[in-house]
Amino acid sequence: MKTYAARPKDIKRDWFVVDAKTMTIGRLASRVATILQGKHKTLFTPHIDMGDSVVIINAEKVLATGKKEKTKIYHRHSGHPGGIKSTTLEKLRGTRPERILQLAIKRMLPRGPLGRQMFKKLWVYAGTDHPHQAQQPKELIF
């Protein structure tokens, strides 16, 4: 028996829409990262981007457990000495709520060119409206 390795012509991509209203950040991010990588497919091949496209709506209503609203801190760095900046989950939710899920999912994907290619198939919107109706996304329920 030989191991089958999928080729780019074997890939069939679907579109999914996820409502983040009732889910916690980590659980939603891990499931979406699995779909973006294509690990839910039987023909999964690690060195090829097999994943599907995912649209997340209601990102502003995603849940955080415990005291994370005030204690979870996001760091970024400008690259200059002393250029680290920090913000809490509460402030990030007020300014850019879609960034919360983007960061959580991006950090669960592989590092490198393949992970960046997978991340491009993710769209996150704070509200319920999204411009991807023409792709006829399927409702993804966890």
CATH number at residue 20: 3.90.1180.10
Instruction: Grade residue 4 by pLDDT with cuts at 50, 70 and 90.
Output: confident
Domain assignment of residue 126, yes or no: yes
The Cα 133–Cα 9 span in angstroms is: 25
Query: Across the chain, what does the average pLDDT equal?
Result: 96
Q: How much is the pLDDT for 50?
A: 94
Domain assignment of residue 44, yes or no: yes
Percent of the chain with pLDDT over 70: 100
Section 76-91 average pLDDT: 97
Q: Which amino acid is at 126?
A: A
Domain assignment of residue 116, yes or no: yes
Domain assignment of residue 109, yes or no: yes
Which tens digit of pLDDT belongs to each residue from 87-133? 999 999 999 999 999 999 999 999 999 999 999 999 999 999 999 99
- Max CA pair span of the chain: 57
Domain assignment of residue 41, yes or no: yes
pTM: 0.93
Tell me the HSE value of 63 on the side-chain side, using a 13 A CA sphere.
9
Count of domains forming the chain: 1
Q: How much is the pLDDT for 8?
A: 87
The Cα 78–Cα 76 span in angstroms is: 7
Instruction: Grade residue 142 by pLDDT with cuts at 50, 70 and 90.
Output: confident
